[in-house]
């Protein structure tokens, strides 16, 4: 009789947990995964995928407007939020079905319910205790809700995907990627949008030129950007209107809106999992502290993805999950290189970036050369749209290695994915310059910048 019920018990069926479970099963391990919501996790169910679908929808308004400059006569377009949400829900249900099928085909047992760690080798789901040689925590992250009067009337990104109707007026609180992405979505679909952020510029941690450029484009797009502004209180009026009071440098400002969305960050979803009680070390935000292989302070308990509070990106979680299973069950100790990871913000316009920002590079060395270009996209010349693209390369002046690449403009994420290969490969500015451009494209600017 086996010493344990399973070789691996995974808590959380998101991208990282699913990949780790499938790879472990492929190595011959007996694997089960518990999920208390829907299989697919944040990315598939309430994050990357539905957000990108809503972003596509939001861009059609601009496409209709731009068409006139190219000789098209388009009638007055109409938009149905319920129709969009219904279509989005169908696609998410389809993807969830695929994830469940993949787990089943891989020989992984799915356990519906919330799993809690009892001890280093035991979890409990719905009153049933299950033992495992290894336990993997892959519960992801959860939106942070600030505590202020009336905060209960606010929504987060979780609820934004299921609103019964499109709010006519929206206040978004926050300045990170979720805040600027939903500002673009709601504005593109026709809402009046106010974006309030307590800091001096949106997208803290991104390159300063990128931050300033995007802020200007958000304002051009009709978003009321309020910096150094934070919610003081929210009152629900008799007609359902929300009266949000912002504290600004000029004093208190009332804003009457139909919805207030909190996009004030995400925290590791470890509350109530029994980890600390089992001896697992957590950081100040509740993230599971792990070594390079994904193992916690308890040798039999591991963690991957957002719950580790390292790099909160779906492809990173997937790689961490695969690496952990290769280490535990494939006799091939594997680590994930968290340096030079490309990332994108699906704002309007979108951002793509990889490598060091200018500030990060200059903090390491004074020998830094910066190459920048700002231009009007070719499409905008006939459409008449007031839009500018920004591209930037950060270069080590001594070795000429390209340390970072940044872009704000149409197709930025698609373009940066290719540039990321060159940056990861430690190519030099000279090698960029030797590459023949594809003309006319925006991407060619990365190999013609002087």
CATH number, domain containing residue 427: 3.30.390.30
The verdict on residue 335 lying in a domain is no
Rounded CA gap, 5 and 24, in Å? 15
Rounded CA gap, 394 and 198, in Å? 29
CA-based nearest residue to 285, from 166, 181, 142? 142
The verdict on residue 336 lying in a domain is no
- The pLDDT score that the predictor gives to residue 287 is 98
Identify the domain boundary among 264, 293, 311.
264
The verdict on residue 383 lying in a domain is yes
Paired with 301 in beta bridges are 135
With beta carbons less than 8 A apart as the criterion, state whether 314 and 15 touch.
yes
Q: Are residues 106 and 226 in the same domain?
A: no
Q: Are residues 67 and 161 in the same domain?
A: no
- The pLDDT score that the predictor gives to residue 198 is 97
- The pLDDT score that the predictor gives to residue 298 is 98
Which residue range is the domain that position 377 belongs to?
343-447
Identify the domain boundary among 223, 242, 264.
264
Q: Are residues 139 and 10 in the same domain?
A: yes
The verdict on residue 281 lying in a domain is yes
The verdict on residue 393 lying in a domain is yes
Helix or strand holding residue 15 (H, E): helix 15-26
Helix or strand holding residue 119 (H, E): strand 115-119
Tell me the CATH number at 208.
3.50.50.60
Q: Are residues 281 and 139 in the same domain?
A: yes
Q: Are residues 317 and 292 in the same domain?
A: yes
What is the residue whose two structure tokens read 């960050």? 265
- The pLDDT score that the predictor gives to residue 303 is 98
- The pLDDT score that the predictor gives to residue 2 is 73
The verdict on residue 334 lying in a domain is no
pLDDT tens series, the chain, 450 aa? 579 999 999 999 999 999 999 999 999 999 999 999 999 999 999 999 999 999 999 999 999 999 999 999 989 999 999 999 999 999 999 999 999 999 999 999 999 999 999 999 999 999 999 999 999 999 999 999 999 999 999 999 999 999 999 999 999 999 999 999 999 999 999 999 999 999 999 999 999 999 999 999 999 999 999 999 999 999 999 999 999 999 998 999 999 999 999 999 999 999 999 999 999 999 999 999 999 999 999 999 999 999 999 999 999 999 999 999 999 999 999 999 999 999 999 999 999 999 999 999 999 999 999 999 999 999 999 999 999 999 999 999 999 999 999 999 999 999 999 999 999 999 999 999 999 999 999 999 999 998
With beta carbons less than 8 A apart as the criterion, state whether 150 and 36 touch.
no
- The pLDDT score that the predictor gives to residue 83 is 98
Q: Are residues 133 and 18 in the same domain?
A: yes
Rounded CA gap, 45 and 35, in Å? 13
Q: Are residues 376 and 350 in the same domain?
A: yes
Catalytic residues: 439
With beta carbons less than 8 A apart as the criterion, state whether 352 and 346 touch.
no
The verdict on residue 338 lying in a domain is no
Q: Are residues 322 and 355 in the same domain?
A: no
CA-based nearest residue to 141, from 281, 277, 299, 283? 283
pTM value is 0.96
Identify the domain boundary among 212, 246, 264.
264
Q: Are residues 39 and 137 in the same domain?
A: yes
Q: Are residues 351 and 318 in the same domain?
A: no
**Alpha-helical runs (H) found in 68-154:** 81-105
**Alpha-helical runs (H) found in 291-424:** 314-329, 358-364, 378-383, 412-424
The verdict on residue 337 lying in a domain is no
- The pLDDT score that the predictor gives to residue 126 is 93
Q: Are residues 314 and 243 in the same domain?
A: no
Q: Count structural domains, the chain.
A: 3
Rounded CA gap, 282 and 307, in Å? 10
Q: Are residues 194 and 283 in the same domain?
A: no
- The pLDDT score that the predictor gives to residue 152 is 96
349: phi then psi, degrees, rounded to nearest 5 = -80, 160
């Amino acid at each position: 009789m086996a010493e344990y019920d399973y070789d691996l018990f995974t808590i959380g069926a998101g991208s990282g947990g699913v990949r780790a479970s499938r790879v472990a099963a492929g190595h011959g391990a007996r694997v089960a995964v518990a999920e208390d919501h829907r299989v697919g996790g944040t990315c598939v169910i309430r994050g990357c995928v539905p957000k990108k679908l809503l972003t596509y929808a939001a861009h059609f308004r601009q496409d209709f407007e731009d068409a006139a400059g190219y000789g098209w006569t388009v009638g007055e377009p109409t938009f149905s939020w319920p129709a969009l949400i219904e279509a989005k829900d169908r696609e998410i249900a389809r993807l969830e079905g695929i994830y469940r099928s993949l787990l089943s085909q891989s020989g992984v047992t799915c356990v519906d319910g919330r799993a809690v760690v009892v001890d280093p080798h035991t979890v409990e789901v719905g009153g049933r205790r299950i033992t495992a040689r290894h336990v993997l925590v892959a519960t992801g992250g959860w939106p942070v809700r600030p505590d202020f009067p009336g905060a209960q009337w606010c929504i987060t990104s979780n609820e934004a995907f299921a609103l019964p109707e499109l709010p006519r007026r929206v206040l978004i609180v926050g300045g990170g990627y979720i805040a600027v992405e939903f500002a673009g979505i709601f504005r593109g679909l026709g809402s009046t949008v106010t974006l309030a952020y307590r800091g001096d510029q949106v997208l803290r941690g991104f390159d300063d030129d990128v931050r300033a450029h995007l802020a200007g484009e958000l304002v051009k797009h009709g978003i009321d950007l309020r910096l150094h502004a934070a919610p003081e209180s929210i009152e629900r009026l008799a007609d359902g209107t929300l009266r949000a009071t912002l504290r600004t440098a000029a004093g208190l400002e009332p804003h009457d809106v139909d919805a207030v969305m909190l996009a004030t960050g995400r925290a590791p979803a470890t509350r109530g999992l029994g980890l600390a009680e089992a001896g697992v070390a957590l950081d100040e935000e509740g993230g599971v502290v792990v070594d390079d292989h994904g193992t916690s302070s308890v040798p039999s308990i591991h963690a991957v993805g957002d719950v580790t509070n390292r790099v909160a990106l779906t492809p990173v979680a997937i790689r961490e999950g695969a690496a952990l299973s290769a280490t535990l069950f494939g006799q091939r100790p594997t680590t994930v290189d968290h340096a030079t990871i490309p990332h994108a913000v699906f704002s309007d316009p979108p951002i793509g970036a990889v490598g060091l920002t200018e500030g990060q590079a200059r903090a390491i060395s004074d020998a830094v050369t910066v190459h920048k270009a700002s231009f009007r996209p070719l499409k905008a010349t006939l459409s008449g749209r007031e839009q500018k693209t920004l591209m930037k390369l950060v270069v080590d002046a001594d070795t000429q290695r390209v340390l970072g690449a940044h872009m704000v403009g149409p197709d930025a994420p698609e373009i940066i994915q290719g540039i990321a290969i060159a940056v990861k490969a430690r190519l030099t500015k000279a090698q960029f310059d030797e590459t023949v451009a594809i003309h006319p494209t925006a991407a060619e600017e990365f190999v013609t910048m002087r």
